[in-house]
Amino acid sequence: MPAHSVLLAATALLLGIPTVLTLSNGVARLPVLGYNTWNAFACNIDQDLVLTQAKLMKSLGLQAVGYTHVHLDDCWADKNRSASGTLVPDQTRFSRGMNNLTGELHAMGFNAGIYGDSGWFTCAGYPGSFEHEAQDAQTFQDWGFDYLKYDNCNIPFDDIIREGMVGKYQRMSDALTQLAQTSRKTPIIFSLCQWGWEQVWLWGASVGHSWRTTGDISPNWDALASIINFNSFITQATGFYGRNDMDMVRLGNGGLTYDEAKTHFTAWALMKSPLLIGTNLSAIDDATLGILKNTELLAINQDSVQGSSVSPFRWGVNPDWTSDSSSPAQYWSGPSENGTVFMLINTLAEPSDMFFNLTESPWIRAGRQYSVRDLWTHTNNGTAVRNFTARAVPEHGVVALLLKDAGDEPTGLTPCAVWDNCASQNGTAVQG
């Protein structure tokens, strides 16, 4: 543990404050928003393609609403290292070199991200960084990259690695920390692409800034439902400086209805996942662009006061705490700087009304009423007293609401909205 973390932990212990282990080296306090090449282009990438997508991020107004990163994924490298063992970019596809690319991206106001692997080879068979961690960290920094996605393919045999998953990722984490200290430069953001193995949500925060919790996303409802279900049980791992990464935003590639696409974006944004666009922006449609540019949801994803994810308070169709990869929890809430956020997901294949009592959410005060802001229609929808019903939520659709305290509720209502252990002071009226 670095000296400042030890001090922090010791102070917290003395003051009785619970500590969350974080890689609190000052970067990636909030989720990273940007672009990644993998979903739309896989290995068919080159420098011009990356710059074209970056320019589109600007001209389509995506950078202006907060998407400030552009990341290369796999297949940027030459298959062989140089004689001195350094990584080399593909000579044809990245002929101008990586400094040129990151220079152009920085000049456009973007941070630049690169991809590597903790094993012998990347998932597509390019050189991995195992036993080259310090050298490759230095190379990435020399090339001007600000962010590293670090994959999990081609893990060395046990008698070579003699480490578990934590140790394997710690090697690059240490290399990046060391590099930041010796170079006195901003630390490179470290994103673990590890698909949720070995309960990464329990230790990821002490090693990196985000960690994939599930396998690669596909553009269909089943994949979304399964990722949302899995992550619904580990929302507490997400906070400032470290977060569950639900994988890239897989919009605009077909496979999702408009309502499913909205559900996808809403869940990722409100669960405070990184939001990395994986669409070919040359062919993006207005509806997809509109979803990606929902500034009210982006503001909650980027909330600088409340770092936590929304969490389910009721599963709805299923009994609470049921794990069902085709029918995740339906009723969610969480705190935000400007009020309590609610997310309702209609997991059914038909429209349905969705009802909840306000105080089912731990972030709501009993005896108060709340103004309701709809984060998709961008309208103020009156005042909720005691409960709220969203009417005819479409199949696989979503409702996202921001409830703000609007003072005491009207008088004359029943004593308790939820009759669970409610009692009058003298005990004459007792329920629950």
User: Is the Cβ of residue 76 or residue 332 nearer to ligand GLA in the bound state?
Assistant: 76
CB of 394 to ligand GLA, least distance (A): 30
Site mask, ligand GLA, residues 140-179, x = CB under 6 A? -----------x----------------------------
User: Is the Cβ of residue 193 or residue 354 nearer to ligand GLA in the bound state?
Assistant: 193
User: Is the Cβ of residue 38 or residue 211 nearer to ligand GLA in the bound state?
Assistant: 38
Number of chain positions touching ligand GLA (CB under 6 A): 9
90 touches ligand GLA (CB under 6 A)? no
**b/e 273-297 (16+ beta carbons within 10 angstroms → b):** bbbbbbbbbeebeeebbebbbbeeb
CB of 123 to ligand GLA, least distance (A): 3
Residues 108-127 that bind ligand GLA (CB under 6 A): 122-124
CB of 121 to ligand GLA, least distance (A): 10
104 touches ligand GLA (CB under 6 A)? no
3-class DSSP string for 146-191:
CEEEEECCCCCCHHHHCCCHHHHHHHHHHHHHHHHHHHCCCCCEEE
CB of 43 to ligand GLA, least distance (A): 8
193 touches ligand GLA (CB under 6 A)? yes
Q: How far apart are CA 334 and CA 271, in angstroms?
A: 9
Q: How far apart are CA 75 and CA 41, in angstroms?
A: 10
CB of 209 to ligand GLA, least distance (A): 16
CB of 253 to ligand GLA, least distance (A): 14
74 touches ligand GLA (CB under 6 A)? yes
Cβ-count burial of 263 within 10 angstroms (0-12 exposed, 13-18 middle, 19+ buried)? Answer: buried
- Taking alpha carbons only, the member of 349, 370, 373, 374 closest to residue 360 is 370
Alpha helices in 34-107 (DSSP H): 38-41, 47-59, 98-107
User: Is the Cβ of residue 279 or residue 330 nearer to ligand GLA in the bound state?
Assistant: 279
User: Is the Cβ of residue 165 or residue 416 nearer to ligand GLA in the bound state?
Assistant: 165
Q: How far apart are CA 256 and CA 260, in angstroms?
A: 6
Length of the chain counted residue by residue: 432
Structure tokens at 340: 């309590």
Number of helical H runs and strand E runs in the chain: 12, 18
User: Is the Cβ of residue 103 or residue 255 nearer to ligand GLA in the bound state?
Assistant: 255
Residues known to be catalytic:
151, 216
Cα torsion 370, 366, 301, 210 to 10°: value is: -170
Q: Which residues bind ligand GLA (CB under 6 A)?
A: 38, 73-74, 122-124, 151, 193, 216
